[in-house]
Structure 1
Amino acid sequence: MTTSATSRPRTIFARATPPGRGAVAIIRLSGPDTDAALGALTPGRALPEPRLASLRRIADPVSGRVIDEALVLRFTAPASYTGEDAAELQLHGGPAVVAAVIEVLGRLPGLRPAEAGEFTRRAVLSGRMDLTAAEAVADLIAADTAGQAAQALAQLGGRLGRQVEGWRARLIRAAAMIEAEIDFPDEEVPDGIALTVAPEIEAIATEFRACLADGRSGERLREGVVVAVVGRPNAGKSSLVNALAGREIAIVTDRPGTTRDAIEVALDLDGVALTLIDTAGLRDTDDPIEQEGVRRARARAAEADLRLVVIDPETTDPAQAMAEAGVLPGDPIVFTRRDRLAGDAADRLRAKVAGDHPMVLVSCVTGAGMGDLAAALAGLAAGLTGGGEGAMITRARHRAALDQAAMALDAAAAGLTHPLPMLELVAEDLRRACDALGRITGRIDVEHLLDAIFREFCIGK
């Protein structure tokens, strides 16, 4: 929520710890009336010194009833998370205590409950962080794996923001050179100075292209690698998913066509989030419901990062099963019923698998080969995410903005190499590139982006 330049922003408050019962519950405040609120809650005591925890009795200012004995932390602007006066009340975590303090805060003048992500939103608006750092806060809160957390921390530390601002500063300098030749043609500006920026523009464009050619590794790490488990009915897909998950996720029967709707299960494989999708068996059928399940299975397989093709070697030709599944290079092939196969089965089956595909033999009955399969999936996922090392782009909006900047630079470079360069058009192309970069960090169109970004946040952040 934003305020006009003439209105006084209201002070917001929210619980920052999860709801429910716990040892400690934290309530955050931020805004110009924070000190007044602390004074009302702790009557008869001077305000705590900034950034020093102080044990205080929290009381209802109307009735005088003591609600709790809590630690109070006070932060003065601009040295706070939001850049405003702020405070934390570290209460005992019982529901009655928290509800009573929230009720009192809601009665104090100038205070209101915070909206989702409003503390971080205020931090962005006050200049305490840029949009990429704010997104990293949300990603760190949502991280399920070590890899996701590490990537979010790197972005919070400015890995993307610093790079983008560095590119933007270089483009601004290049644009200034061109503007100088446009605006001061008769002054002491060296002839052809605009052409001297062409190598810098090309160098930045090359860096853009290298960043964009990352195979979406950052987005995949953040969102999780999607693996569609595909194959014919009764190949053992659902049993395999259950075995990898370590619990019964999918129904397993001997009846073909049991799985009709896609079933998803999230896994953490060596720090990389992976989503397995158990899909309907691929076959021709007259059952309209199963037909829809097969259609959806093919669609999910086409959209997935990997297709894990499950084949029963006793009943299915591998080449035909792979063709039906629409495999791509690198997709893993899993042969089930390992406990029923002869000792030389691996060599015989490998000879039937054309192309570059990891191959694993497993038994969902004995568990044989499941460790090998988990290791193979972890290796493939790490390859798709780059192991979480050095990824700059972590969201679709970053990629779209950088792609727009790259196209603007290509246009600028083409303009400079034209026999009769139109410097005004080149300058406009550079401005478009700078604006696109500014949208990544929030220098441009920040209000438009804030609503979409902070919709993902929890209330107390």
Structure 2
Amino acid sequence: MSETIFSLSTGGLPSGVAVIRISGSGTRFAFETICGSVPEARHAAYRVFRDSDGQPIDRGLALYFPAPASFTGEECGEFHLHGSRAVVARFLEVLSALDGFRQAEAGEFTRRAFDNGKMDLTAVEGLSDLLAAETEMQRRAALDQAGGHLNSLYEGWMHRLTHCRAMLEADFDFADEEDVPGTVADQVWPDITALKSEIEQHIQCVKWGETIRDGFRVALVGAPNVGKSTLLNRLADRDVAIVSDRPGTTRDSIEVRLDIGGHLVRVIDTAGLRETEDEVESEGIRRSLRMAEAADLILLLDDGNSEIPDRLPDVPCIRVHSKSDIRDVTEGPGSLSLSAVSGEGVRQLIDLIARELAQRSGRIEGLPNRQRHETLLREAVSRIEAGLEARVLGSEIAASELMAASEALGRITGRVNVEDLLGVIFSQFCIGK
């Protein structure tokens, strides 16, 4: 971290304003070289930005953030320029020429914040989700996680495990001391049992957390030519799928992302299900069935003239009577009719999906939302269970299992043994963050 990094942190050029960030020990030198002096900490100062020959580059605002009260924990700075390609290119060229300065890599500012203890790994993941948020629920959940809600929860659990271990270890470390009662370990078992139950309940939230983050998946399923692709185009309000009277036109899954009630909903068009000798179409059907198996909801389309597929996955399913503009339909319980051509009934379909979401929804605070969270949480539960079972074998074995449980929680927050994860996580950030 001896190098000072810099990067354009705002969007594409040209733009009204461009912000260039720097972080590292050379920050003060950069201000002195380009602005003539270092601005007052955390106060925007109007400055003329000059190159090494004293020639003006632009005029704008300069902000200085001394360590450790900065995003990265190092000395940081920001230069707010006009968003001209020529201005930004010249400014970056001047920074590049300074000794010990280089362009930042993807996610490097955030990586330095993590390494300097300004953020834990769950907050880093929350920040990544916030940058990628498309819907209101994604924004709220990501902001909660980036604000440290998960970290506070897991740190609290680790603190309780540490206390329980201390009580257990007191039994075998000071068993001969008169002022340490031999029954001190008995006081921790109720809390260990309660903690196990809390983590198990928390694990049940992973599915909802993943749904908010990755989207509620709705698969359009049915025989060929029942109107799946037409419905997808109607929902997308544009032509995203080829529509044809020829069976087997759709051979691969096509997805449309919708914002329904603040939730991301991924509607997936699948290949028509039928018996076929066509090798390519058969592969498309196999892929469609896999997509349907992974869906949260199946909309089974039926135009009244095609056979209902008999090999549907075990996923909640709603029957949709399509082409209501050219045929009479009697809706049964748990079904609806629509016409993707005229738009009749499409609003009711969107409302139906919204109701499904409402029935499955939960809180958005403190939600685990990644497979690695679930894996490590289950490992912690498994270790706690082993500790409870080991109580008859002695406090030493039980304390060892509780230490392993605490380490599993520590790997979620990044406190222990996560070096192999860091490159993957930070590479997903944009340059300048």
TM-score (norm 1): 0.91
Aligned to 2:345: 369
C-alpha displacement at 1:154, in angstroms? 0.9
Q: Which aligned pairs between 1:74-85 and structure 2 lie closer than 5 A?
A: 74-85=64-75
Task: State how many pairs are aligned.
Answer: 432
Q: Deviations over 1:19-62 (max 9, x none)?
A: 2210000000011110101111123xx3110011011111111x
- 2:335 match: 359
Distance (Å, rounded) in 2 between the aligned partners of 1:184 and 1:423 = 12
State the partner residue of 2:90.
100
- Which residue of 1 is the match for residue 404 of structure 2? 432
Deviations 1:92-138 (A, max 9, x none): 00111111111111110111111111111111111112111111111
Alignment of 1:3-152 (within 5 A): 3=1, 9-43=2-36, 46-61=37-52, 63-152=53-142
Equivalence for 1:413: 388
Residue 429 of structure 2 corresponds to 457
Structure 1 counterpart of 2:424, one-letter code = A
**1:219 counterpart SS class:** helix
Correspondent of 1:333 among 313, 319, 330: 319
Q: How does 1:210-221 map to 2 (within 5 A)?
A: 210-214=201-205, 216-221=207-212
1:203 aligns with 2:194: yes
Cα-Cα RMSD: 1.5
Residues 1:121 and 1:267: Cα distance change in structure 2 (over 3 Å) = same
Unaligned runs of 5+ in 2: none
Tell me the residue number matched to 2:368: 393
Which secondary structure state, in structure 2, belongs to the residue aligned with residue 408 of structure 1? helix
For residues 410-447 of structure 1, the C-alpha deviation after alignment (integer angstroms, 9 at most, x for no partner) is 1111112x3xx222211110000110111111111243
| Pairing of 1:443-454 with structure 2 (within 5 A) | 443-454=415-426
Work out the CA distance in 2 between the residues paired with 1:239 and 1:15: 43
Q: 1:188-222 deviations in whole A, cap 9, x for unaligned?
A: 21112212211110000000110112261001111
Q: Post-superposition shift, 1:288?
A: 1.1
The aligned residue for residue 155 of structure 2 is: 165
CA contact (8 A) 2:59 2:81 kept: yes
Shift of 1:388: 5.0
- The share of aligned pairs that are identical, in percent, is 44
Q: Is 1:324 aligned with 2:311?
A: yes
Residue in structure 2 matched with residue 6 of structure 1 by the alignment:
none
- Aligned match of 1:355: none
Give the structure 1 partner of residue 354 of structure 2: 378
SS of equivalent residue, structure 1 residue 444: coil
Name the SS for the 1:325 alignment partner: coil
CA distance in structure 2 between the partners assigned to 1:332 and 1:190 by the alignment = 63
* Letter paired with 2:81: L
CA distance in 1, matches of 2:40, 2:148: 30
Alpha-carbon distance between aligned partners in 2 of 1:158 and 1:452, rounded to the nearest angstrom: 21
CA contact (8 A) 2:145 2:366 kept: no
Distance change (3 Å), C-alpha of 1:239 and 1:253: same
Matched-pair contact (CA < 8 Å) for 2:141–2:367:
no
Q: In the alignment, what sits opposite 2:379? A: 404
Residue matched to 1:298: 289
* Native 8 Å contact 1:218 1:388 kept in 2: no
Tell me, yes or no, if the aligned pair for 1:282 and 1:294 is still in contact at 8 Å: yes
Compute the TM-score of the two structures, normalised by the length of structure 2.
Answer: 0.96
- Residues 132, 156 of structure 1: 8 Å contact kept: yes
SS of match in other structure, 1:340: coil
Give me the whole-angstrom Cα distance separating, in 2, the residues matched to 1:337 and 1:444: 58
2:298 and 2:317 in contact (8 A); partners too: yes
5 Å-filtered alignment, 1:257-268, equals 257-268=248-259
TM-aligned CA distance change 1:184 to 1:154, over 3 Å: same
Alignment match, 1:309 = 300
| One-letter amino acid of the structure 1 residue matched with residue 425 of structure 2 | I
1-side partners of 2:189 and 2:209: how far apart?
Answer: 30
Separation (CA, whole Å) in 2 of partners of 1:380 and 1:102: 50
**Aligned mate of 1:179, from 169, 176, 201:** 169
Q: CA deviation at 1:305?
A: 2.1
- Return the letter of the residue paired with 1:378: A
Following TM superposition, by how much is the alpha carbon of 1:390 offset from its aligned partner in structure 2, in angstroms? 3.2
User: What SS does structure 2 have at the residue aligned with 1:332?
Assistant: strand
Alpha-carbon distance in structure 2 between the residues aligned to 1:264 and 1:451 = 29
| 1:423 maps onto 2:410 in alignment | no
Q: CA deviation at 1:387?
A: 4.9
The 5 A counterparts of 1:205-284 are: 205-214=196-205, 216-284=207-275
Contact 2:135–2:264 at 8 Å: present in 1 too? yes
Q: Which residue identity is paired with 2:244? A: T
In 1: Cα distance, 2:274 partner to 2:317 partner:
20
Distance 1:190 1:60 in 2: 73
Equivalent AA in structure 2 for residue 60 of structure 1: D
